[in-house]
A and B are shown apart, each in its own frame.
Chain A
Amino acid sequence: MIALDWIVGITSWASIIAGSAFMVIGAIGTLRFPDFWSRVHAVSVTDSAGMLLLTLGMCIQGGFTLITVKLVLIGIFLFITGPTATHAVANAALVSGFLPRGADRTIVSGEKKEIIKPKATSRKRKPSKAKK
């Protein structure tokens, strides 16, 4: 049984530490990336991965109990809602005309085809104090 304890401990803590690392990397990316689209990318992808690894590690710690069932439900809920929230934010930004750098958006409605060019003013950034 000591060997089983070791296996459970090592796998659960490895997954918890990996999930925490994903979360920290996502937070750093949110703070440090230059514009909106790369920030959304950083926070959404790492958030899902980190959440899954953290719940997996806690499930292994919990064993076959009610806690594990609740953790699995929480994991499913967050796995559905996290990407949906990111989609809503990114969709709202795209529809309101905030396009990624160098991209244009084509709206096809019936016969009509409309191409939206990125606005030059939409990426105005605060002047950074860092040395170039």
Chain B
Amino acid sequence: MRHHLLLRVITKLLVGPIILFALYVQFHGDYSPGGGFQAGVIFAVAFILFGIVFGLTKVKQVFPPWIVHKLAALGVLIYAGTGIYSLMLGSTFLNYGAFTPAHPEHGQHWGILIVELGVGITVAAVMVAIYYAFAARPPVINDEEW
């Protein structure tokens, strides 16, 4: 892997901005195009790019598979928990307006933010998990033959 100097330098340069852009798409999603799903995919792309260039063992040190699988469940828990919380407040499932009965707009703002966060965490974790599952297969072509 040592001969991909240019790709390694550019990848190191790009991983940070890609994660930053994912967070921008995540938390700016209620003002501009974007949201949890796209942000999760962009977030996962940073790790997939790192894994493609530096190898699966390196990226598994950064983002271990057991954390990935826990995060995939955590996102669904946040999403469903928001809905259950609004149920407990005596409203319907995922009715954010019930969080702050005096100002339903505030409750809707926070509710959509939390739900999108859950969606983003799950999508990012599932994308990385799919990449791990594919990349962990034995290679069809040996590295020496390249």
Point out residues on A near B: beta carbons under 8 Å: 77, 80-81, 84, 87-88, 91-92, 95-96
Are B146 and A80 touching (Cβ within 8 A)? no
Are A84 and B7 touching (Cβ within 8 A)? yes
Chain B residues near A80 (CB-CB < 8 A): 10, 13-14
Q: Which residue of B lies closest to A91 (CB)?
A: B4
Point out residues on B near A: beta carbons under 8 Å: 3-4, 6-7, 10, 13-14, 17, 146
**How many angstroms between the C-alpha atoms of A92 and B4 in the bound complex?**
10
Q: Which residue of A lies closest to B53 (CB)?
A: A88
**How many angstroms between the C-alpha atoms of A92 and B6 in the bound complex?**
13
Are B17 and A84 touching (Cβ within 8 A)? no
Chain B residues near A91 (CB-CB < 8 A): 4
Task: State how many angstroms separate the Cβ of B9 from the closest Cβ of chain A.
Answer: 9
**How many angstroms between the C-alpha atoms of A77 and B15 in the bound complex?**
12
Q: Which residue of B lies closest to A87 (CB)?
A: B6
Are A95 and B146 touching (Cβ within 8 A)? yes
**How many angstroms between the C-alpha atoms of A77 and B16 in the bound complex?**
12
Task: State how many angstroms separate the Cβ of A83 from the closest Cβ of chain B.
Answer: 9
Are B146 and A88 touching (Cβ within 8 A)? no
Q: Which residue of A lies closest to B52 (CB)?
A: A88
Top 7 closest pairs, chain A to chain B, by CB: A84-B10, A95-B146, A87-B6, A88-B7, A80-B10, A96-B146, A84-B6
Task: State how many angstroms separate the Cβ of A51 from the closest Cβ of chain B.
Answer: 17
**How many angstroms between the C-alpha atoms of A124 and B146 in the bound complex?**
21
8 Å CB contact of A81 from B3, B10, B146: B10
Chain A residues near B17 (CB-CB < 8 A): 77
Q: List 17 A-B contacts (CB under 8 A).
A: A77-B17, A80-B10, A80-B13, A80-B14, A81-B10, A81-B14, A84-B6, A84-B7, A84-B10, A87-B6, A87-B7, A88-B7, A91-B4, A92-B146, A95-B3, A95-B146, A96-B146
Chain B residues near A88 (CB-CB < 8 A): 7
Taking A91-B4, A96-B146 as known contacts, 15 extra A-B pairs with beta carbons closer than 8 A to each other, sorted by chain A number, are A77-B17, A80-B10, A80-B13, A80-B14, A81-B10, A81-B14, A84-B6, A84-B7, A84-B10, A87-B6, A87-B7, A88-B7, A92-B146, A95-B3, A95-B146
